[in-house]
Chains A and B, each alone.
Chain A
Amino acid sequence: MIRGLSALLLLAVVAFASEVPAGKVSLSSFRAIAILDEGRIKPLDTFARGKLLQFSARETFAGKPAIQWLARVFFDPESAADDKIFRVENPQVTEALGVPAEASLRYSLKQLEPSFPALQELYRRIAPLPDKERDPVQKGVARLYVNVNQYLELQTAFLFAAPSPTLVISEPSVRARLGLPSHQTACSWLELRDLAPNLMTELERSDVSTEVMLAAQGMRQMAGNGAALSLPVLPVKTKEGLRWESPWPLLSAGISETNLLFSIHRLSRLRAAWISSDDAAFQREADGLRQEASSVCKSAGVTPPLKLEVAYNLISPFANARILYIAAFLLLMVSWLFIGPRARRLVTVAWGVILLALLLHACGIAARMAITGRPPVTNLYETFLFVAAVIVAVSLLVERTLGNRLGLLVGAISGTGFLFLAGRFATEGDTLRVLVAVLDSNFWLSTHVLAVTIGYAGVVLSGILGHVWMVQAIRGRAAAAAQTAKLVYGTQAFGLLFTFTGTILGGVWADQSWGRFWGWDPKENGALLIVIWSAMIFHARLVGWVRETGFAAASMAGILVVCFAWFGVNFLGVGLHAYGFSDGARAALYAYGSLQTLLILFGAWFAHARLAQSRGPE
């Protein structure tokens, strides 16, 4: 199944991948070069997106893909230094640094350069503080400091291959003796390194030129500076598996392995091809690098699906699925304006669009599973993707049974909403990141986590249907409302079943890894709250405390309980499950909570009154 869906994604990429070579070369091979980052082997394309997202909170620069920006940072750092990519949200940070404020909140390296000493000094003072104790300005400074440093590391990654003003040898006779081509005077570090024996002979001469002495000094200095620069793109097979090397540290340490040196020369030629816009050479070198890395990986038994990941990035399945969900929603809205065959045709089209969206959505999830080798849900971001898919799928089943456009409507709205939320969470970094030790269990990830997540989906769907019920009730459609009420009940039972199962499985997992079945940890409590809430409304229905209105209202409130369990406890930032903590959406969650409460109270009261009115004569 996964393989099939992944293959589908790969096929689809052919349509997307025929990009116009902006800049002067095509980056299609370059973006698939492997790099080790945050513990994971990923394509440069993902790496570039991640870095740009981290620096500027966007995945594109000036409307162009991140990989183009990264290529410029690598190969033409001088011009890239003018790109305004450092996002500084807090004006007090730029004020403290003495940088004139930009309306776009984004600054270039050149703009920040004069303030480096001030930035360094500020950071030195806040570095000992743990992140939790830093105020927003201090957090801003720390973030900028880290970003600038990481940027500088990227910017200098390829300098070994660039002609340097400190390595100038202009005398033709010396150049000839060294074996340097006659047309240029500035040399690259790598170039001089390759001519090291000649350089040594030249240094031993009694009439050694000042330029040669300065160049030798410059080389030592550059080697010293480069020793810690990391760009782990060169895999080496070792007894323990794979080790990833970076060009600069290898060169500084005096590399001897010919195959690594060969790869480093490839990197150098890659840069040269980019500079001279030699597309053929660029493809050749990029492909060469990819194939070398992939054969080393393969020999160590590692086969990261880099092409699939690049395809996944290019297609952005979830962003596009979201567009399709929106389109389906609009089609449905329009269908209500018409009656008869025209409306039916529109509904059929909406069915097609939403099925296509769900297919893309599912392909996206399958691709993620193939890339990470994990079950579909391993972090907060993925819960949104998965819950959205489950809700849409169940809604479509409801639609197939009832055929009154309700399922389609709920599916389209939920798909849009949850994928929108997922998009917000995607800005927090690599969403395919590696897992901490306790989560390293595909068995529990695919049982407990999936069961609880499906449970969330059921309870949320029941709540959404509660909203639908409310609209129908307020419009006085008693019969339709009664039918919806049955759905509210059924989906709530579905949610309870899965949440309960998931909670019990969670207890078993906790017993396996922490030594206790239950410990009143916030996430455990969250799941328990859903179970109790759900159990409570079913039993309250038995004693007649709630009927149609009460049940629908309580189901709507169930969404709030799920919100608390799902990410509210992550906002609290305590407990063993605090791996999904995030800062920004807290206010939004509170606002939503208050609005939803008001809606439930007034809506239920109004709906109840309207229903009583419309059913009155019976």
Chain B
Amino acid sequence: MDRLATLRARACRLPVIRWFLDLRLQILALLLLFLLTLWGTLYQVEHGLWASQQRFFYSWFFVSGGFFPFPGAKLVLAYLFVSLLLVTVLRLSYRAQKTGLILIHWGLLVLLAGGGITHFQAVESFLSLKEGERSNLTSDYRNWEISVWTERAQATNGLPEKRAVEAIDTDRLLGGKAVVFPDAALTLIPRRLFQNAMPNIEAPPSGPQSASGFTGLSAAAQQTDPAQDLPGGEFTVLAAGATNQILLWAGEASPLHLGEKTIQLRRKRHPLPASLALKRFTKEEHPGTAVARRYESRVQLSEPRLSREVLIRMNEPLRFADYTVYQSSYSEEEGVPVSVFAVVKNGGRIVPYLASVLLFLGMLIHFGIMLVGRIRRREAR
């Protein structure tokens, strides 16, 4: 026991560890976090939430005014995490009387860890389902892919048959190098790429071909949140000995057919380990208004072993495996309701709950001990 105490004391004197244990530095880190949070909030007025998150909160460093480097919230939080970890390991006295404080510190530690886990591995996407529709693919908000597949005749039972799709992330095109789709024996060479594009209606009619008939693309102003951008580009396609000039644009609903090959620029797909079918979408409005009071989706969830019916609504998501499916919004397509779900894959989604429990318990015990102490002192007087 004594050896452990000596070890802890010795560790505390190590220069690097002293940095992390210095309460004054920790307060400065809190001050930095305060400033970043304030700044990042005000920044949202002009630039929106996404840009603010990237610049202030999800960055190690950022540059202000084109020159001054500034630590990002990620760095500050990482420092605070390590500090807290070292404090709990080296400094905190583990006595029964301090149970509350110990739990609070561990709770904070777990909370920060949970934030990190979510930040580094959670994947957010969405799923739009028409009533009667089924899918096991969700769409990314900001990442795009180019998919190529071979169109075959429909299966006789009327259902779309399974098809082998090759897809590459559009990020791979940024270098301007050719990309090969080996199964389809197709090569794609990017000519011009746009972060956000719109069809150019003044382009000559003899230009490259596209799925919806326009022959030119031009750059459009980028949105504050790239989720609202519709990228596009001009490509040369080499397939089956032929060379074609084509345009791909994210705003097109249907894919482009080149002989028996089909090619499309679309939001990156994420496969789910289960399929979801929208059985019924219901919406209730406050009477006499267009303000929705509540909306909900009755969904058939088919996992490999089990198929069950579930109800997803605001504040009551569906959780299965590492996935959580939230009722996000709704729209209507040709009179058929479309339900939009946000889908989050997060292996660490339980961590913040664990942290909350630790924190609440800690506060309860800490203030309980203080209260009891106070009452005893008063009685003693």
Whether chain B is bound by chain A comes out as: yes
Known: A434-B291, A520-B49, A532-B30. A39 touches B314 (CB 8 A): no
Once bound together, how far apart are the Cα atoms of A120 and B295, in whole Å? 37
> A403 on the interface (CB 8 Å rule)?
no
| B352 adjacent to A507 (CB under 8 Å) | yes
Q: Which of A517, A526, A535, A545 contacts B118 (CB 8 A)?
A: A517
Known: A508-B353, A533-B34. A515 touches B288 (CB 8 A): no
Nearest CB on A from B337, distance (A): 15
Known: A437-B314, A515-B317, A525-B37. A535 touches B352 (CB 8 A): no
- Give the chain B neighbours of A313 by CB distance below 8 A: none
Q: Which of B81-113 contact A (CB under 8 A)?
A: 111
> A247 on the interface (CB 8 Å rule)?
no
Q: Which of A440, A516, A528 contacts B294 (CB 8 A)?
A: A440
Known: A436-B291, A512-B315. A520 touches B27 (CB 8 A): no
| B30 adjacent to A519 (CB under 8 Å) | no
- Give the chain B neighbours of A336 by CB distance below 8 A: none
> A182 on the interface (CB 8 Å rule)?
no
Once bound together, how far apart are the Cα atoms of A440 and B327, in whole Å? 14
Nearest CB on A from B283, distance (A): 9
| B27 adjacent to A574 (CB under 8 Å) | no
Instruction: Convert A233-265 into 0s and 1s, putting 1 for each residue whose CB lies closer than 8 angstroms to a CB of B.
Output: 000000001111000000000000000000000
Instruction: Convert A509-539 into 0s and 1s, putting 1 for each residue whose CB lies closer than 8 angstroms to a CB of B.
Output: 1011111111111100110110011011001
Number of interface residues of A (CB under 8 A): 57
- Give the chain A neighbours of B289 by CB distance below 8 A: 38-39, 434
| B57 adjacent to A539 (CB under 8 Å) | no
Q: Which residue of A lies closest to B351 (CB)?
A: A517
- Give the chain A neighbours of B285 by CB distance below 8 A: 39
Instruction: Convert A497-509 into 0s and 1s, putting 1 for each residue whose CB lies closer than 8 angstroms to a CB of B.
Output: 1001100110111
Q: Which of B141-169 contact A (CB under 8 A)?
A: none
> A1 on the interface (CB 8 Å rule)?
no
Q: Which of B34, B42, B115, B353 contacts A536 (CB 8 A)?
A: B34
> A444 on the interface (CB 8 Å rule)?
yes
Once bound together, how far apart are the Cα atoms of A572 and B48, in whole Å? 11
| A242 adjacent to B124 (CB under 8 Å) | no
- Give the chain A neighbours of B360 by CB distance below 8 A: 501, 504
Q: Which of B115, B294, B356, B363 contacts A437 (CB 8 A)?
A: B294
Nearest CB on B from A583, distance (A): 15
> A36 on the interface (CB 8 Å rule)?
yes
- Give the chain B neighbours of A38 by CB distance below 8 A: 286, 288-289
**A-B pairs with beta carbons under 8 A, tally:** 145
Q: Which of B354-370 contact A (CB under 8 A)?
A: 355-356, 359-360, 363, 367
- Give the chain A neighbours of B48 by CB distance below 8 A: 574
> A62 on the interface (CB 8 Å rule)?
no
| B44 adjacent to A517 (CB under 8 Å) | no
Nearest CB on A from B58, distance (A): 9
- Give the chain B neighbours of A504 by CB distance below 8 A: 111, 355-356, 359-360
> A337 on the interface (CB 8 Å rule)?
no
> A400 on the interface (CB 8 Å rule)?
no
| B37 adjacent to A440 (CB under 8 Å) | no
| B367 adjacent to A497 (CB under 8 Å) | yes
Nearest CB on B from A500, distance (A): 8
Q: Which of A426-470 contact B (CB under 8 A)?
A: 434-438, 440-441, 444
Once bound together, how far apart are the Cα atoms of A529 and B292, in whole Å? 32
| A434 adjacent to B27 (CB under 8 Å) | no
| B49 adjacent to A574 (CB under 8 Å) | yes
Interface centre among B56, B57, B289, B292 (most CB of A within 10 A): B289
Once bound together, how far apart are the Cα atoms of A232 and B115, in whole Å? 50
Once bound together, how far apart are the Cα atoms of A187 and B42, in whole Å? 64
Q: Which residue of A lies closest to B122 (CB)?
A: A516
Once bound together, how far apart are the Cα atoms of A446 and B208, in whole Å? 60
> A543 on the interface (CB 8 Å rule)?
yes
Nearest CB on B from A442, distance (A): 11
Nearest CB on B from A582, distance (A): 15
Nearest CB on B from A42, distance (A): 11
Q: Which residue of A lies closest to B45 (CB)?
A: A572
> B3 on the interface (CB 8 Å rule)?
no
Q: Which of A434, A440, A515, A543 contacts B344 (CB 8 A)?
A: A515
| B23 adjacent to A542 (CB under 8 Å) | yes
Q: Which residue of A lies closest to B289 (CB)?
A: A39
Once bound together, how far apart are the Cα atoms of A511 and B33, in whole Å? 23
- Give the chain A neighbours of B173 by CB distance below 8 A: none
- Give the chain A neighbours of B33 by CB distance below 8 A: 532
Once bound together, how far apart are the Cα atoms of A542 and B44, in whole Å? 34
> B59 on the interface (CB 8 Å rule)?
no
| B31 adjacent to A569 (CB under 8 Å) | no
Known: A514-B326, A520-B52, A536-B34. A36 touches B287 (CB 8 A): yes
Q: Which residue of A lies closest to B290 (CB)?
A: A39
> B342 on the interface (CB 8 Å rule)?
yes
| B30 adjacent to A539 (CB under 8 Å) | yes
| A543 adjacent to B287 (CB under 8 Å) | no
> B38 on the interface (CB 8 Å rule)?
yes
Q: Which of A39, A513, A535 contacts B291 (CB 8 A)?
A: A39
| B31 adjacent to A574 (CB under 8 Å) | no
Q: Which residue of A lies closest to B366 (CB)?
A: A497
Q: Which of B332-357 contact A (CB under 8 A)?
A: 342-344, 349, 352-353, 355-356
| A37 adjacent to B288 (CB under 8 Å) | yes
Q: Which residue of B lies closest to A246 (CB)?
A: B288
Nearest CB on A from B35, distance (A): 10
Nearest CB on B from A110, distance (A): 30
Q: Which of A521-574 contact B (CB under 8 A)?
A: 521-522, 525-526, 528-529, 532-533, 535-536, 539-540, 542-543, 545, 564, 569, 572-574
| A40 adjacent to B286 (CB under 8 Å) | yes
Known: A444-B315, A508-B353, A535-B30. A39 touches B287 (CB 8 A): yes
Q: Which residue of B lies closest to A536 (CB)?
A: B30
Once bound together, how far apart are the Cα atoms of A232 and B286, in whole Å? 14
Q: Which residue of A lies closest to B46 (CB)?
A: A574
Known: A513-B314, A515-B124, A520-B57. A575 touches B291 (CB 8 A): no
- Give the chain A neighbours of B111 by CB distance below 8 A: 504
Known: A508-B353, A540-B27. A232 touches B314 (CB 8 A): no
Once bound together, how far apart are the Cα atoms of A553 and B34, in whole Å? 17
Once bound together, how far apart are the Cα atoms of A244 and B293, in whole Å? 17
Q: Which of B45, B53, B294, B353 contacts A574 (CB 8 A)?
A: B45
Q: Which residue of A lies closest to B356 (CB)?
A: A504
Sample of 6 more A-B contacts, CB < 8 Å, known A519-B53, A545-B27:
A515-B328, A517-B118, A517-B349, A520-B40, A520-B56, A529-B34
Q: Which 6 A-B pairs rank lowest in CB-CB distance, beginning with the nearest?
A: A39-B286, A39-B289, A515-B344, A525-B41, A434-B286, A517-B352
B-side interface residues toward A, CB under 8 Å?
23-24, 26-27, 30-31, 33-34, 37-38, 40-42, 44-45, 48-49, 52-53, 56-57, 111, 114-115, 118, 122, 124, 285-289, 291-295, 314-317, 324, 326, 328, 342-344, 349, 352-353, 355-356, 359-360, 363, 367
22 contacting pairs across A/B (C-beta < 8 A): A38-B286, A39-B293, A40-B286, A243-B287, A434-B293, A436-B291, A437-B293, A500-B363, A501-B360, A512-B315, A513-B315, A516-B118, A516-B344, A517-B352, A520-B41, A522-B41, A525-B38, A529-B34, A545-B24, A572-B45, A574-B44, A574-B45
